[in-house]
Chain A
């Protein structure tokens, strides 16, 4: 699964762009994706949608997959 990485504002803008492109027709589906925060909260990621590119001025970075650092290790009982 490919992702874009950037600031919260950038990934939210990308999500809005996908939603406008999709113009969902179903009664349930209304949103492309939710921003995924990095465990440090420094960056956010959002699933890339095929055929929808970020705006030219966006500094979102494309990655084929998120690194393991995006998935916090839990201390389980």
Chain B
């Protein structure tokens, strides 16, 4: 039971704390921020998301079930199962322990988690739905680093074409991870420009696992565990990131993502040695690729 978040009911139902649960952040610690539709850490016992229901605009935290998955039963009990019942994410809680919750107080900008009485899914996977025109969530996330790693489970509704669609980002000229022209592009610097481009095909309408690693001497990107076939730019002279906020589903009001996001884990460190282990953990849970 979580108490004290203002008006309305706030119960987090069905969570079974401890009992041998091991999350990805128990195995790979040190994340700067972590958002998911599953539980990521045994020490995390609060809600995964806070949801506003369309029927009366009240809000409630929704936690996880005994498997660590989003508690769909509690979610639909709160939002409803009718064709006009929609649930919107007002807060995507940070499970890293750093308190970098991603929120949006503006109704028309909140992404969906219940669509017409059913839990929102993208490519058969529970996901927060972004509409490509206005949906975004913002977190106060301070990053000042050249070493950077991110793991995202996301997909786009259609061909990204030349218009970029951001999974997350702060600044269109400094820091983002986006899909454009079927590439994964991650920019981690203002000057000199560092872009970890990639020529692996991003597949529209398909959930994929995107991993970006900027290490001490080189950077690489991976889609569904496969490394990009375009050599990344030299990262050794990167100016690095210096940001105080990050947006999910956009880059601060532009490059909106049309699609779904199930998980984003961000590190201000080089996770090269943990990459395959993290990818395996994520894929084992979401069953993204074979």
Residues of A within 8 A of B (CB): 1, 22, 24-34, 36, 47, 66, 74, 76-77
Contacts and interface: CB of A to CB of B under 8 A. Distances in A.
A25 B90 contact: no
A31 B106 contact: yes
A26 B195 contact: no
B110 A29 contact: yes
B128 to A, nearest CB: 15
B107 A25 contact: no
B234 interface: no
A34 B105 CA distance: 11
Interface in B173-217: 180, 187, 193, 195
B91 A28 contact: yes
A44 B193 CA distance: 33
Nearest to A34: B106
26 contacts: A1-B133, A22-B107, A25-B7, A25-B8, A25-B58, A25-B59, A26-B8, A26-B59, A27-B5, A27-B7, A28-B104, A28-B105, A29-B57, A29-B107, A30-B105, A31-B106, A32-B108, A33-B106, A33-B108, A34-B106, A34-B108, A47-B134, A66-B133, A74-B254, A76-B164, A76-B180
Contacts of B8: 25-27
Which 10 A-B pairs have CB atoms at the shortest separation, nearest pair first? Answer: A27-B6, A26-B59, A28-B90, A33-B108, A47-B108, A31-B106, A30-B105, A25-B58, A29-B52, A26-B52
Given A31-B107, A33-B106, A26 B57 contact: yes
Given A47-B108, A74-B164, A28 B103 contact: yes
Given A1-B131, A74-B172, A25 B56 contact: yes
A74 B255 CA distance: 9
Contacts of A22: 57, 107
Contacts of A74: 164, 172, 254-255
A24 B59 CA distance: 10
Contacts of A25: 7-8, 56-59
A44 to B, nearest CB: 14
B109 A34 contact: yes
A28 B7 contact: no
A26 B106 contact: no
Given A27-B5, A31-B105, 15 more contacts: A22-B57, A25-B7, A25-B8, A25-B59, A26-B7, A27-B6, A28-B104, A29-B59, A29-B90, A29-B105, A29-B107, A32-B106, A74-B172, A76-B162, A77-B187
Of the candidates B5, B107, B131, the one having the most CB atoms from chain A within 10 angstroms of its own CB is B107
B183 to A, nearest CB: 11
Nearest to B10: A27
A11 to B, nearest CB: 12
B52 A28 contact: yes
B50 interface: yes
Contacts of B57: 22, 24-26, 29
A27 B4 CA distance: 10
Contacts of B7: 25-27
